[in-house]
Amino acid sequence: MKHMKTVLILEHTEEVFDKLTCDVCGAESKWDQNWSTAEHEKINTTIQLDEEESFAHGGSSAQTQYHICPHCFKTELAKWFESHRQAKPTITKSVW
Ligand SMILES: [Zn+2]
């Protein structure tokens, strides 16, 4: 008798999220895109340029991102903005 068994054969590879590192200092996030080190906290940073063209026959888009840790955001990026043209951030706060 020929006995058969079912085995899982992985036939493809797939890009899946592994880790997030800071493009400035190389720090590694602990929770996916959340830079927090505590479970009850959420610290996300976003520096992104979205460019898109739409025509009747199709279109294209490009998304350019820098991933930066909160420390470099405050000590590098914010300082750069403030020292060039005295730029100020938009801060939106909420409490619940
Ligand atoms: Zn950093």
Write out pLDDT tens, residues 23-49: 999 999 987 888 998 889 999 998 999
CA of 31 to the centre of ligand 1 (A): 15
pLDDT score at 59: 95
pLDDT score at 30: 85
Reduced to 3 states (helix: H, G, I; strand: E, B; else coil), residue 79 is helix
CA of 3 to the centre of ligand 1 (A): 56
pLDDT score at 41: 92
SS3 content of the chain, % helix, strand, coil (to 5): 15, 25, 60
- Stretches where the chain sits below pLDDT 50 are none
Q: With contact defined as beta carbons under 8 Å apart, do 75 and 82 qualify?
A: no
CA of 29 to the centre of ligand 1 (A): 10
CA of 75 to the centre of ligand 1 (A): 9
pLDDT score at 25: 97
